[in-house]
Chains A and B, each alone.
Chain A
């Protein structure tokens, strides 16, 4: 995180992407620092993987628990490490490459047992793969401008849709441009929305003590599934806030 602060200006909210490019470049003196941090992470990660292999109580809670069968995984359309742990070979970085993923090609790590251990192993191996990609990217970074020239006025009423690979799976972004260079509608379909649908199939017939571990093994982000509706208690009517009203509410709150 300290490295990210040096590169982007903040430890977690990077804010690097703009329409047409990125905001900052990686300076030459940051490159050896990146490689050093990544090497350190790889060393510690390998030690950790080696240490937990023989841990019997841990394996007792991971092996054979929370099995999501291949047919169920395909039916519920789960994505990300949840799907790759059940022998479904999908990865949006490889199937629909975007940005630089046609040159930095990730490997699809697939396990076929479908239990907690498979999902954990998929994540562990993907970390090592990402370290390889970071190294390759830093060494092969070409020179050139960091932003493309875009027209001043983006025309209104145009649509855009794109699939992106988030750490939890496939994330879909849909944009409709509006006037004044602002979006009219922006919808994000987070991957946890579908992964959570597969939970009943995963935990059927299991003990109560195994349920939290099974749910945590596919790493749900519950805030991605939140949708807001305002219900009037007296009349029972449902009201959806428009953009103007939401902005007014938030501005009033902070004064």
Chain B
């Protein structure tokens, strides 16, 4: 029995100290390429297709259409960091950064709001909103706030 205890103690001592000085010291294993951290949105590239809202499993992207604008709100407190929005975006407007230290007391740190101006009618110059349900379905990104289908 004593021999096995000695062996166990030796195994433990061999590992040394594995406590990392997080978050005050240098990181032992910084995240590499392909790490799925907080998302970042490049508004210039976004075309408002709504593909990210369609595919998000946590249902945290909400799209509202006003008279002239399409407003997309991202409530990142619910984010599971799965990365589907970044994969599905056709313009690569959503990218995943390497930020993972996201604990905060202010939930507005984890809230992104983008506003995009909608296309205007060629003849009269006013912005248009589709009328019938069939039109709505043809219009991409139909997950609006009003009807949570």
Contact = CB atoms under 8 A, between A and B. Distances in A.
A10 B36 contact: yes
A54 B2 CA distance: 8
B123 interface: no
B4 A54 contact: yes
A6 B30 CA distance: 10
Interface stretch (B45-53, B63-71, B77-85): B77-85
A51 B7 contact: yes
Nearest to A15: B82
B75 A251 contact: yes
Interface in A44-99: 44, 47-48, 50-57
Contact of A13 (B31, B34, B60, B81): B81
Contact of B8 (A2, A10, A55): A55
Contacts of A9: 34-36, 83, 96
Contacts of A53: 4
A248 B148 contact: yes
Interface in B93-149: 96, 107, 148-149
Contact of A54 (B3, B35, B78, B107): B3
Given A2-B29, A247-B59, A247-B148, A55 B1 contact: yes
Contacts of A5: 29, 31-32, 35
A51 B4 contact: yes
A79 to B, nearest CB: 28
A48 B12 CA distance: 10
B142 to A, nearest CB: 10
B87 interface: yes
Nearest to A248: B148
B125 to A, nearest CB: 34
A56 B8 CA distance: 13
B88 to A, nearest CB: 11
A226 interface: no
Nearest to A247: B59
B17 interface: no
A68 B3 CA distance: 32
A55 B5 contact: yes
22 contacts: A5-B32, A6-B32, A9-B96, A10-B35, A10-B36, A15-B36, A47-B11, A48-B11, A51-B4, A51-B8, A51-B11, A52-B4, A54-B1, A54-B3, A55-B5, A250-B59, A250-B78, A251-B60, A251-B62, A251-B78, A254-B78, A255-B75
